[in-house]
A and B are shown apart, each in its own frame.
Chain A
Amino acid sequence: MPSRQLAPIVAVLVIGLFACSFSDSSESISKSLSSPFKSSSDSSGDSHLAYQADVRDYTAAYIRSGGDYDTFERKIGSVAAKHGITDWELDTGSYVAIGQGLRKGGLKPIELAAWKSNLARDDLSRADLIQKGYDGNQ
């Protein structure tokens, strides 16, 4: 093959050697006939901690970017769904993690009452859990 014709092919291959992967993970990663993802999906303590960490981090980010309570609850619903949880209100860890996130996001103590009131509504135990998370208690 003449070198002029070979050059573009070699160039493509060399560039290919350098390039990062193009993601086909959405296709490949779902090739799960068994449960190789158990570490991130089982109901062990680690998994619940990961859920709480995500709620905490999301809450902190939400506080920094601002937004209303309805949108926040929808977004927490999405975060919970990624951990296989639909009824996040039932999980007491959710409220503790929200409290932690409110603090991490820099919410001032004076603003905390409004968040507790809107998220816990008339449930005092939920408000207490948010307060505990905010205060740094588990």
Chain B
Amino acid sequence: MGFPRHAGIAVGWAFVLAATAAAEDPPSRTFEYLYVDANEGGSSGGHVAIRFGDEVYHYQHEDPGVLRLHREGDRSFFHLYHALENRNIQGVRVAVSDETYRTLRDGLEEQREIQEAYFDRLASATEDEALLGRLLRSRAARRGGTGPEEPAGFSLPALGFFVPDGADPAPEREASPSLAALRAELAQTLGEGFLHTREAALAGSLVELKPESTEVWSGSVSPERPPPPSSGFARRYRDALLGLRALEVLEHALPLREGSLRTGEDQEWALGPAERAQLAAFAASLAERLRALARSGRPDFGFPLLVGMARLEALRASVESGHLFVLEALSDEDPVLPRAALARNAALLPALDQENRAAFLSARQALFAGSTLEEARLGDLESTGNRLLELEEGARGLHDVRLHPGRMIPARTARRTDLPELAAGDRPLREDLDRVGQGKRSLEQQLVQVFGYDLITRNCVTELFRVIDRSLAEKEAQGNATEGPLGGHVGSGFNLNFIPFVSATSVGARWRVVERYELPSHRRGLLSALYPQGPPLAVYLRESNTLTSTLYHHAGKDSFFLFFTDDAAWLRPLYGALNLASGIGAASVGLFLAPLDGGEALSAGARGALFSLPELAFFNIRKGTFEFVAQERSPGAAGQERSAW
């Protein structure tokens, strides 16, 4: 399925030239205003977004009742909203000058960064409160002789490649030859005592750590300026501890723990002699870099050092065995797709496996095409390799499938309970805990006040227009600056533009639109492709309902319904009545099943009945969703071109 980009541009361009003849800076670029229509669940309202090239900006309503601006790659946006959530998307392309394009994009990016900085401060304060509380409880437990009462431990990313969870040291094993060699080279160049000296310095600084006054929130939140930067006490503690533990791993040349490496059985995992030689050269350059990291002044050097040492081991294992190994890059904290969902969508698995294999082979080729080791390329190999193996093993029924979008960083976590003590006494620590807690609560309240969601006055539409107005006004230094740059003004004052579909209509009518397109929902797209393959009536009858459809398989979170009404405008009330009856029936059965299924069937039936009501009045919300789809069916895959003409 294509993603329209050029159709109508010639006609549109003539229109633009005429409309902007008097403009000082003629339109030379375009951005897109996207309207995503409704579906059930969390998406029962419409949604809007703005696309600049391959980036999409959109506000989302999130816990705790705030509206946050996100930036996503266009592929991931379309994959989620169009493919998985099965929603129709209408887009308009708006022609603007290069300066206006940059002003709008920078304005949204600045707003995103400001929000992110505030919510990162909140996350940091939450971590500080948790660490201080943990340290105090550990002290109390030790005094009471009850031992560590928090089995969860303090998460130290990438340390888990070498050290287990808990308080026990790594078990005695044969030292890693590559880390032993690294240690020897460090001793040769920096002296025998280098590691000890640096460890002692880190341990000393760790003990003296305490929350700085600048790390405790006491200011006020503004949507127009970011908070003062702060590292955060818990993050400084984690960085120092990771640095210390990384140096200890190196000092003792700890080998990788079992389960740290992954490999496949197929031919693409086998290495030829030239590839082995190349990996050996990569390992040598990585070792050199690790020596630099071990003495780096970067405060968070421990994490890259640990990841690098684990990667060195993976490279060594590959070179020695002639079989490509990658680090385990998925974690137990990643979301899991249950085996049952895989079974429901078994027909899709070959296509997904093919995609994963192609991505892995592409990453493999890119890695070996380079003359030097690039972390990004190695990261791609790890990500695609893990994804390929995870699905293959899941398809064989070995385990549930862990999911992780994008490039992964291998970071096997060790949850350690043996935390170094701080020099500060109980009382100062308790005072710090109180201050941190008060600051955190104050910040949280302010964030809800400043960025809080409101159905009418502050939603995904109003905030986009607000940022656009503000950015253009700042640039032009005049109140109504949006008339020229966009062709017309669409605001969110006393009008209905706060409603997503109304805003899309207003944009289409007032901005300088040079192209319009509509992407039918994922199911409708697949259905269109089916019609030429058989008698249309038979295809329609088969695919019009959830019982016989070959395209749709009931997704776990969908409500119970029988008929699709998004492509049945005239039959919608009839189908709606049948959906309503079936929803009520399912809910009735669910009532009896509730003790057994935790109320799942009851909920699905009740929601099924609820979302049938608009169908009685010719409105459609529910379209069904997909648990996963193959990539080539996602329209975003075709949308790689930058938006400059």
Contact = CB atoms under 8 A, between A and B. Distances in A.
A77 B236 CA distance: 13
A47 B335 contact: no
B109 A57 contact: yes
Contact of A28 (B84, B404, B630): B84
A39 B408 contact: no
A58 interface: yes
B161 to A, nearest CB: 13
A108 interface: no
Interface string B606-645: 0000100110000101000001101100101100100000
B46 A71 contact: no
B41 interface: yes
A43 B500 contact: no
A35 interface: yes
Contact of B75 (A13, A39, A74): A39
Contact of B60 (A21, A27, A65): A21
Contacts of A25: 60, 70, 80
B249 interface: no
A121 interface: yes
B614 A73 contact: no
B299 A23 contact: no
Q: How large is the interface on A (under 10, 10 to 19, 20 to 34, 35 or more residues)?
A: 35 or more
Nearest to B298: A73
B508 interface: no
Contacts of A39: 54, 73-75, 636, 640
A46 interface: yes
B359 A38 contact: yes
Contact of B459 (A19, A70, A121): A19
B300 interface: yes
A34 B631 contact: yes
Contact of A62 (B42, B229, B335): B229
Interface in B557-586: none
A59 to B, nearest CB: 11
Contacts of A38: 75, 359
A32 to B, nearest CB: 4
B76 A30 contact: no
A87 B229 contact: no
A124 interface: no
B366 interface: yes
B482 to A, nearest CB: 22
B522 interface: no
Interface string A73-116: 11101000101111101110000000000000000000000000
Interface residues of B, number: 102
A13 B403 contact: no
B127 to A, nearest CB: 13
Contacts of A23: 42, 60-62, 68
B304 A36 contact: no
Contacts of B42: 21-24
B376 to A, nearest CB: 4
A35 B337 contact: no
A81 to B, nearest CB: 6
B460 interface: yes
B239 interface: yes
Contacts of A33: 337, 352, 356, 387, 391, 401, 403, 628
Nearest to B402: A30
Contacts of A68: 229
B217 interface: no
Contact of B409 (A15, A46, A84): A84
Contact of A36 (B41, B79, B500, B614): B79
Interface stretch (B220-228, B260-268, B274-282): B220-228
Nearest to A104: B106
A39 B114 CA distance: 25
A97 to B, nearest CB: 14
B497 to A, nearest CB: 11
Interface in B206-255: 225-231, 235, 239
A2 interface: no
Contacts of B403: 30-33
A137 interface: no
Contacts of A57: 109-110, 113
Interface in B340-383: 352, 355-356, 359, 363, 366, 374-377, 379-380, 383
Contact of A24 (B41, B227, B498): B41
Interface in A10-24: 10, 13, 15-24
A91 B375 CA distance: 9
Contacts of A47: 376
A16 B621 CA distance: 9
Residue of B44, B239, B640 with highest tally of chain A CB at under 10 A: B44
Nearest to B627: A31
A20 B376 contact: no
Given A61-B110, A75-B229, A20 B380 contact: no
A125 interface: no
Ordered nearest first, which 4 A-B pairs have the shortest CB separation? Answer: A40-B73, A67-B229, A19-B45, A84-B407
Given A17-B38, A33-B387, A43-B376, 12 more contacts: A16-B38, A19-B455, A21-B47, A21-B60, A30-B404, A32-B79, A61-B113, A65-B227, A70-B299, A71-B230, A81-B409, A85-B376
